Each structure stands twice: as C-alpha cells, then as structure tokens.
Chains A and B, each alone.
Chain A
C-alpha cells in the first residue's frame, strides 16, 4: 500500500541498533509510569529519508493494535504530518534530531514525536487548533487534520527547546 522503502535490521520485539541506517530501535521494559509501556523508541534525523523509515516502522508497530486498514491509513497520515511539521517548522529544513516513542497501554497506541527546534505556538497547546478562515489557504491544515483523525491529541511547546506531540489511537485489537 505504501511505497516507503523497506528498512533493514528492525526487530520490533528485540533490541536493534542499525547504525548504518542511522536508526535506533530499543524495546523497553525499564522505564517508569507510562514509560513502562514504551514498546519502541526511535531517534531519527529530521529528513525525508528518516520519514520513510518512520513510516515503515509505524506500519509494523501499528498493524496489530490499530486494526482496520482504513484506520491504519489515518494513523500513518497523522505520523506523516507531525514528523513533517518537525522537519519544516521545528527545524525549518535545517536538520536536527527527532525522538519518537510508541507507547502501548490497555486503551491506546500513543505515538510521541519530540523535536528540539523552534517550539510550536503556545496557543495551540490546549487543543485550540482551528482551520484558517480562508479555506483556500495553501498551508496550515496538517495539525487540524491530525486533531480530527486521531482519538486524542496532546501538543506541548517547549519554547526554543522544541515541541512534543502525542497522538493517541484507540486500540482496535482490545475489546
């Protein structure tokens, strides 16, 4: 379905560090609080190559918990949009690091995407994400789409220290 390139060396249930590809995946049982539920961590460069890797790993990790094909597309689109926001708005295409965590609890698969670039406007933190009044404007829909596709969205601005976005998808595999 998605044409993103295959990634070598990913083992979702184990520990895999693929330095050649610049990709780090760590399965986790060591954290605290919700960290206990972290099933995968990625540290990625803020570039298109990493986006392709992210989509591939998201596909693998989401397939079970998300459930339906339609929901999978929405889940991948949300990740796609937020990661691109980090590349283009957070780092203004100048590069940087982006940390991604996949957290699985009883109810949700949560994807937490953290960059260390220019933080998003504080006004967007409380879910106050609206469409531009001019519907024909060419930009500024990504976050609004994400807010409307996922089950819950949390946006935290760290000012000059970046932005953390958590996208929640209800599990389709737990009834």
Chain B
C-alpha cells in the first residue's frame, strides 16, 4: 500500500495504490490523514491503483473525509475499481462522498467549487 500526493489547480490529489487490509489499515489511515492539511483543503483521492479495500479501509477514508470537513474543506474520490465502488454503494457512502469516474472530470468539477 502506498499513498502519495501532488497538487493540481489547488486540489491535492492523493494517489492510493496496492491493498488496504487488516494488516496495514492503521498505517493507511495515518498516511492519509497526514495529507489533510491547511485551511479549506480540497482533497481528491485517486484510487485507480487501489486493488483491495476492506471495511477498516473504508473507515480510514471516512476519517479523512471528516477531517477535511472539520477544516471546512472537502474530500472526493475518483477512479474506483468496480468492486470498490460497489462497497461504497452497499454502505451508501456514495450518497455522502462525491465519486467521479475519471480524473480530469473530477479535477474540472472540483475546481468549480
């Protein structure tokens, strides 16, 4: 599991790759939270390379979402693999967190806000 970020149009794009499982979800949560910094942060999680996510990984993403909200910012997601998108749908988290299919679309829409 790897978490890296870069900035584009004032949006911090956080790329997550590998697997988030019960062995590494604590590290994943900590790594993710480190990227939620500054006032009104705009965070976009690019999950194209994330191949496995369990319920604890979902919780870590929610924690990051709440932290971004607390700082009056926002966290959104893009490029989820179909089985991971399904998890967000099952748990109705897709009704809470905005999810985009593509990266360009996500940046364009997020920039407007």
Contacts and interface: CB of A to CB of B under 8 A. Distances in A.
Nearest to B91: A141
Contact of B54 (A48, A80, A144): A80
Interface string A77-114: 10011001000000000000000000000000000000
Interface residues of B, number: 26
B66 interface: yes
B90 A135 contact: no
Given A3-B19, A74-B83, A81 B59 contact: no
Given A80-B54, A145-B87, A138 B63 contact: yes
A145 B55 contact: yes
Contacts of B18: 3
Nearest to B23: A48
Interface in A123-169: 131, 135-136, 138-139, 141-142, 144-145, 148-149
Residue of B23, B55, B87 with highest tally of chain A CB at under 10 A: B55
A48 B86 CA distance: 26
A70 interface: yes
B93 interface: yes
Given A77-B54, A84-B22, A135 B92 contact: yes
B33 interface: no
B82 interface: yes
A164 to B, nearest CB: 20
Interface string B27-70: 00000000000000000000000011011101100110110000
Given A81-B54, A136-B96, A148 B83 contact: no
Contacts of A3: 18-19, 21
Interface residues of A, number: 24
Interface of A is mostly: helix
A48 B22 CA distance: 8
Contacts of B19: 2-3
A52 interface: yes
B90 A149 contact: yes
B27 to A, nearest CB: 13
Contact of B55 (A52, A74, A136, A142): A142
A15 interface: no
Contacts of A80: 21-22, 54
A16 interface: no
A82 to B, nearest CB: 11
Interface of B: 18-19, 21-23, 51-52, 54-56, 58-59, 62-63, 65-66, 82-83, 86-87, 90-93, 95-96
List the 5 closest A-B pairs by CB distance, nearest first: A142-B55, A138-B59, A148-B90, A141-B55, A73-B83
